[in-house]
Amino acid sequence: MKKYKKNIIFKIIDIIDNLEILNVYFKKNFKKIFLRFLSFSVKDFDIRTIKPNKFDEYNPYIHQAVFLYKKERKLKIYKVLKKGYIFRSSIIRPALVCLF
């Protein structure tokens, strides 16, 4: 992946993350619409999201663990802190998750 494309993708991902945070604190319709617009725009760049669900098995290739509640034999996702992103077949950013 060329460096300029990678920089553009990182900037778009940062914008989406910040809008999602703002959306939690300010429940206004125009922000939700804008966030949806950006999410659809990302798909035009062939960027897919990694959105694990609670109790999904931990996959170190697409998830990054930032906290472990309890050490178990099979690690499960307890909470998703940030979605991950894939550009074509390359992982741009793994999903940040808490495990138990």
Q: Three-state DSSP class for 28?
A: coil
The architecture CATH gives domain 3-99: Roll (2.30)
- In this prediction, the residues of the chain whose per-residue pLDDT falls under 50 are none
Domain boundaries, the chain: 3-99
How far is residue 60's CA from residue 38's CA, in Å, rounded to a whole number?
28
Please report the pLDDT score of residue 1 as a whole number: 57
Token pair 């940030």 is at which residue?
82
Rounded to two decimals, the pTM is 0.70
Name residue 67's beta-bridge partners.
Answer: 98
At 62-87, the pLDDT tens digits run 999 998 887 777 899 999 999 999 98
In angstroms, the Cα distances linking 23 to 19, 33, 71, 97 are: 6, 10, 33, 20
Q: Amino acid identity, residue 51? A: K
